[in-house]
Structure 1
Amino acid sequence: MIRGTVRDMSLAEHEARIILSINKAVASIFDLDELLQRLADIVSEAAHFSRVAIDLSNRSGEVTIRAVHGHPKELTGRPFDLLSFNPNFMRVLSGELLIYDYDDPALPKASRSLLESTNTLRVINVPIMRANRFLGMIVADEPGVKHEFTEEEIRLIVAIADQASMAIENARLYEEQKYAAAEIGESRKQVLDILESISDGFFALDNDWRFTYVNTKAAELIGKRREALLFRNMWEVVPQLAGTIFETEYRRAKEEMAPVSFEARYPPIDRWLEVRVYPYENGLSVYATDITDRKSAEEALAESERRFREILEEASLVAVMLDTHGQVTFANEFLLELTGWSENEIIGRDWFDLLIPSEEREELRKGFRESIAQGTIFPHHVNDILTKRGEHRTISYSNIILRDTKGRVIGTASFGEDVTGRKMTERQ
């Protein structure tokens, strides 16, 4: 039961950390091309794909290759007729993931030849959707092989696509907003229609902090009717913002004339918001997204991690974590009581020198180093450890490899049962 929890927690924590790193990486990027290139790099780094492309659909539905990793840069800027290349892309346009091979009979002959000439044997296409609207897709492959995409790889790339959608939409809207002031008539109406139709809250403030535009979603998030906000001073109609991070960041954006972004709980409606603030000559443009569900999930993950550590501390099991050098980074209370060592005496010490009997030490150390180098470990193992008094205790272990958010090995975790009495009975 505990072994399954550990494995699931490791995967969940790995994915959660990657999502957090994505949010941090794109939070301060407002240039669309720079954002898309960073996303291509993130997909390659997180899921370990050699080649990645980000295809983006414009407002008229034309799809263009906008960013690449591992492909020639000359590919960027090229239009891409999805359905002519592969009729099955209709599924991607409706939000469905698609994996296909270069020799798929459904592909036109020209498409098969192009894929073969670029050594593309199998490719995954993950749609980037926003409010059921196709924004683009993430395309990844391993050259020269029909790569078997794992469940974890697919889950990661889908999570990245989900996170990317809002960042892409905001960057695109920011690009449009920069030119909106120079447009008149129908162009201005189109921009306002876009701002009204987006799922994020948007409002504009003039240099006297008066609302000059508020879309329907923003009025809902602020908790007031649009008519009660327009042309009114923000600090007067929403006094709860005074002295909060909202005031601090709005004023900073205005003073520094630089975009800012932050996450905070919004007091009037008790919801978490992700806020992006863009200053311009005549005031501020503000985009706000309700992220309460995401924050609740993060809090739930943190709470489950806390409970997990409590279980390790309270369970009658040995629990120990080692870094890649074999030094102890965590030891639970049960292990300390069993061996007689204190936490200060064991943390940071070499596990094999301190607790492994000399007759087993080098063999176990060698096996540990091989596990670290190969990224795999025997899931179950039985060996003796030494107490502080020099007594032998026999432990039956379950082992897992620990990895960071980039998938690199950072150590091992072992959970074991003291089976000394059972072994003595068997020998008798």
Structure 2
Amino acid sequence: MTKYDDQNKNHEREKEELRGEVAGQTKELKEQVDFSNTLLDALSDLDQGMGIVDPTADKFVYVNKALTKILGYSREEILKFDSILDITPSEEMDHLKERQRRRAKGEQISNKYDTAVVGKDGKKVYLEVSVKPIGDPDNLKLIGLIRDISEEKDVQGQLTDAQKKLEEMVAARTEELNDAVLEIKEVLNNITDAYIRLNKKGAVVDVNRQAEKLLKKKKGELCSKNFWSEFPQIKESQLYKSWNDICGGNKGVDYEEFWKPINRWVEVHAYPMEDSDVTIYLRDIQAKKMAEEEVQARLRDSEAERAKDEALLTSIGEAVVAVNRNGKIIFSNGAAQRWFGWGAKELHNNNVDELIPLIDERGKVVTGKRRPMKKAMEQRMRVSEVGFSVRQKHGSSLPVSLTAAPIINKGEVIGAVSVYRDIRKEREIDRAKSEFVALASHQLRTPLTITSWYTEKLASVTDDKARKKYIKELQTANVRMINLVDALLNASRLELGTLGTDPERFSIADLADRVLDDLKPIINKKRLRLRREYDKELKEITTDKKLFGIILENLLSNAVKYTDELGEVRLKIEKNESSINIAVRDTGFGIPIAQHKKIFQKMFRADNARERESDGTGLGLYIVHSIVKQYGGRVWFESEEGKGSEFFVTIPLKEMGKNNVKDGG
């Protein structure tokens, strides 16, 4: 065998080995291609969008079906884009280019970010993108998992708008409530007595202008300061000595005393409040004390001075009555005669117990040693008391506070003089203020608690369905709070006489239809039958549209609220020569006959209404009754429990255009 033959055999062997190596590599490459195809098929069926991007050209090299569905383009259309920038909106362009620049420089950037693209339909699509590099540095690709968050963005925007609107509504209603409180404070500022409010520790909470004038200090100098520290000499007063009893809610105090810090006589009335604060009313009675002392001095003088004394007493605005030791009336001023209804001749030389009887808080007549005049004569000292009423000649009662002092001549008690003060206004202000604060605190607590609870829940959940539910509950609680505030403000303004009127010309039928339209969601939900019967002669009238609307709203909302499903509500409005007549009938719960007399009382709700419908203030019919009464009209009803009720309102036409409701402006 030649050398050439050996070389040939070696070449053949090498070629055979090379063929085997190529076949192995080909098989391995085929397996990799098969695996890649299998992987791409699996990725194509993913529910979440996925795409592979060549970062050098910034274009897609692969997208799955989910991504085509999100963008609205076909796979072929997406792969033909020259760059991702082709579907990037202008406002997102800078952000995307900045990421490209930082990636090109090899800087560390976040693998997860939010962006937006323009879909095939031209609408903006918001995306959440998670990116991860794959492959070796020479053949680097970016694989991204892409989720459509457009709906989340929309819900988030709705939540932001709803929250903003809710905050604005709450702020507006809070401002109205603050205005009402300011109105009450203005009333307190305008009373003639000094008003001081202290907490249990003696810190000043509030004062009015009269208090500033009497104490010679401004409100800013007093508030939050300890009253006893500011005026240490008052620690010698009966007020300070009775402080623990007052704060304990056991009793109030009413007395007269000389206050050294202001160097004046004052009449003190201190009462505990429901919130543990103490209200103090001070009346500057320096002039009255001087008058009383002058009265006693002049009564001890000669009869020649009597005319001067009587002239002085007659000029006093409060009722003054003097008696001898036997209780016979020897003097009465003009105020006493006007207040108690008797003439000077009828009073003179008659028994004070018979013509000016004092009635205590239990309704019993105060006679003998219990009467302040008798006490003053026996104790030879001044006596001041409150909690009494005087029965007038015509039978009515007048609440008074009174001060009695002995008349002493040459060391002997010859009689007594008593000064009566009308305290009706103070009692009305105290009652209205306490009831308003208590009612507002009680009624607003529930919706405010609900609002707070759902706001906390809304901040802690991410589920859209739960968020929508909480927003709906917040809206319901807000509407309830608005209705409560409106009812509370209307009731308070009616009582204080500050509910202003603004007469205008309008159609009653149109107003009634608007009220019924507002109630339509509830009417439709309950599938109630609604009947409207309007008089053909019912044209436009001139009166306060707001107050007339309040009457219709309260009557119709009650009828709808207290009528079960498939029931019937009828509204009938007629006009005759002298009046407008309204009738609202329902087939609802009806009113128990035992509670008919209480139905127009403030905060009263019938037992069956409270048991079956928890939502309600008991103010609606009270407000209707008050407004109709102001217009000289009449409201009444007919009702049978379990069958329904019908409410009737009649308002005289001649009264409608007048400002009958007192204006607080």
If the length of structure 2 is used for normalisation, what is the TM-score?
0.20
Whichever of the two has the greater Rg, that structure is 2
- Higher RCO (CA-CA < 8 Å; seq separation 6+): 1
If the length of structure 1 is used for normalisation, what is the TM-score?
0.31
